[in-house]
Structure 1
Amino acid sequence: MKKIHIALSIFCLAILGIAIHFYQIIYSTQIGNSTSFYIKSTDSIAQVLSNLDAICKDINNVKTVASLKKYNTPKPGRYVLAKGMNANQIINILRSGKQTPIKVTFNNQNYIEDLAGRLAMQIEADSVAILRSLTNPDFLDKHNFNYKTALNYCMPYTYNCYWNISPDQLRNKLYQAYLRYWNKERQQKAQQLNLTQNEVIALASIVHKETQYKPERKRVAGVYLNRIRKGIPLQADPTIIYALKEKQGKKVIIKRVLTKDLEIDSPYNTYKKRGIPPSAIAMPDIDAIDAVLNPERHHYYYFCASADHLGTHKFAQTLRQHNRNAYEYHRWLQKQRIHR
């Protein structure tokens, strides 16, 4: 009996040792610090485990659990692996596909190509695929946009989505936000101004470029709307800069518009063409669009950058007043040696 008891004890100890060993494999801490782990749509299980090796304390333990749980089909996405997670928890979350959403943000994009690049920095899809989706001719035609106005439906909000969202799904998400912005109240305001939604956004892009000082935007919008009502060309320098970049290259840096620039042959030359340009010259922020829809009512027809308070403008009702303000600002530019 004594030998039997000894044998049983040894057997139990062996079983206990195996149990402890497997417990350590399954439940010992693997993640030292919380981290985001990305699985691409093209990743194999071998690639996933290889990538886990860089953040787990003992990849062999993770591989063992993956094998035991038959984890052999990766589900793409972004997963947050929290500090203190063990191999069991890691494999459970990856196998379940319960990824953590990301916040996609963007603003101040000058061109649709810029936006595609910005989005590609935040989701799995590359900029080429995103641009192709954003400018899909069938989508644009269906919703009354074109390549130039495609930026108009991309509202600069924060969007919650999954990292592996498809370009078309993201595009549709942007368009739904655009529809939510253009509720009945805003549509009515645009109609009262005798402007289409695209014209509102195009004008807002000019207001946005003219001033970063938000308290001034409604007044600037009021100036342009006054000029439109009177049939006076907008004479907006940002549109000249846009036209120059269209001709010379988008990366050209232009700090000052010269008199000779006002002769450029372009539909965006608001010194020669009356009314609103055919498309936005950049992505306006929501504040600028709201400023156009809720303009300040006044009798100003001119404004010029102020040399006294940089970042703001001086407004004028008459050309004589405006010329005086412009002279002061041009003299300041000369002192600063800003020639181009």
Structure 2
Amino acid sequence: MKKIFKFFLLIALAIGAFAIFKLIGPAAKKPADGFLYIKTGTNMPQLKQQLVDEKILPGLTWFNVAEKFLSFENVKPGKYKVDGGMSVLNLLRMLRNGSQTPVKFVVTKIRTKEQLAGKMGKAFEFDSTAAISFLNNNDSLKNTNWIPIQ
């Protein structure tokens, strides 16, 4: 009886160690440019599909387990730096907390609105036609929050 109890305890410990390794061990692969871009309006199934399509995670089994454990529901859009060997738990925490990487946008040697719109379109989520229409619209250039100093 004592041997059977030890055997089942050993099996339970092995299963627990395996599960812990899968959650906190290295799992994520670094994307081609090192970043995961999540667009505005992305929901959880789309995010999961993106993680598999970009080969960041080989499968979603342990991601789903950790997602339920951490109660991750709201996907926050942005640019996230994914390191190779990142654990499923760390990846999920980063996405849940919205720990994004800042987007660097430096304006140098731009002479026209079209050049500025093109550079903005490459750096941000909107495209250059939306940027040029915003820059050409007189209402968008009007300062509506201006309060005169008395």
TM-score normalised to structure 1 length: 0.38
- For 1:112, the aligned partner's letter is K
Q: Residue 10 of structure 2 corresponds to which residue in structure 1?
A: 13
- Alpha-carbon deviations, 1:74-96, whole Å to 9, x = none? 00000101222100000000000
- 1:124-143 superposed matches below 5 A: 124-142=125-143
- Distance across 1 between alignment mates of 2:4 and 2:136: 76
The structure 2 residue matched to 1:28, chosen from 22, 25, 36, is: 25
- Distance across 1 between alignment mates of 2:74 and 2:41: 11
* Partner SS state of residue 105, structure 2: strand
Q: Could you tell me whether the CA contact under 8 Å between 1:49 and 1:63 is conserved in 2?
A: no
Q: Does 1:37 align with 2:36?
A: yes
Q: Could you tell me whether the CA contact under 8 Å between 1:30 and 1:58 is conserved in 2?
A: no
* Partner SS state of residue 105, structure 1: coil
- Distance across 1 between alignment mates of 2:92 and 2:143: 44
RMSD: 2.2
Give the drift of 1:142: 4.2
Amino-acid identity (%): 25
- 1:120-269 superposed matches below 5 A: 120-142=121-143
Q: Residue 51 of structure 1 corresponds to which residue in structure 2?
A: 50
* Partner SS state of residue 74, structure 2: coil
1:65 and 1:142, CA in 2 relative to 1: closer, same or farther beyond 3 A? Answer: closer
1:142 and 1:73, CA in 2 relative to 1: closer, same or farther beyond 3 A? Answer: closer
* Partner SS state of residue 103, structure 1: coil
1:141 and 1:47, CA in 2 relative to 1: closer, same or farther beyond 3 A? Answer: closer
Gaps of 5+ in 2: 145-150
Q: Residue 119 of structure 2 corresponds to which residue in structure 1?
A: 118
- Distance across 2 between alignment mates of 1:47 and 1:139: 33
- Distance across 1 between alignment mates of 2:82 and 2:7: 39
- Alpha-carbon deviations, 1:130-157, whole Å to 9, x = none? 22333331343449xxxxxxxxxxxxxx
- Distance across 2 between alignment mates of 1:119 and 1:102: 11
Give the drift of 1:112: 1.0
- Distance across 1 between alignment mates of 2:140 and 2:125: 22
Give 1 or 2 for the bigger CA radius of gyration: 1
- For 2:61, the aligned partner's letter is N
Q: Residue 72 of structure 1 corresponds to which residue in structure 2?
A: 73
- For 1:45, the aligned partner's letter is M
Q: Could you tell me whether the CA contact under 8 Å between 1:30 and 1:56 is conserved in 2?
A: yes
- Distance across 2 between alignment mates of 1:142 and 1:44: 35
- For 2:96, the aligned partner's letter is R
- Distance across 2 between alignment mates of 1:84 and 1:136: 47
Gaps of 5+ in 1: 144-340
- For 1:88, the aligned partner's letter is L
1:142 and 1:93, CA in 2 relative to 1: closer, same or farther beyond 3 A? Answer: closer
Task: List, as ranges, runs of 4+ consecutive aligned residues in structure 1 with deviation greater than 4 Å.
Answer: none
TM-score normalised to structure 2 length: 0.80
- Distance across 2 between alignment mates of 1:28 and 1:113: 47
- Distance across 1 between alignment mates of 2:23 and 2:125: 31
Q: Could you tell me whether the CA contact under 8 Å between 1:106 and 1:119 is conserved in 2?
A: no
* Partner SS state of residue 114, structure 1: helix
Q: Residue 290 of structure 1 corresponds to which residue in structure 2?
A: none
Q: How many residues align?
A: 140
- Alpha-carbon deviations, 1:274-298, whole Å to 9, x = none? xxxxxxxxxxxxxxxxxxxxxxxxx
Give the drift of 1:12: 1.0
Give the drift of 1:104: 1.1
- For 1:60, the aligned partner's letter is T
Give the drift of 1:110: 3.9
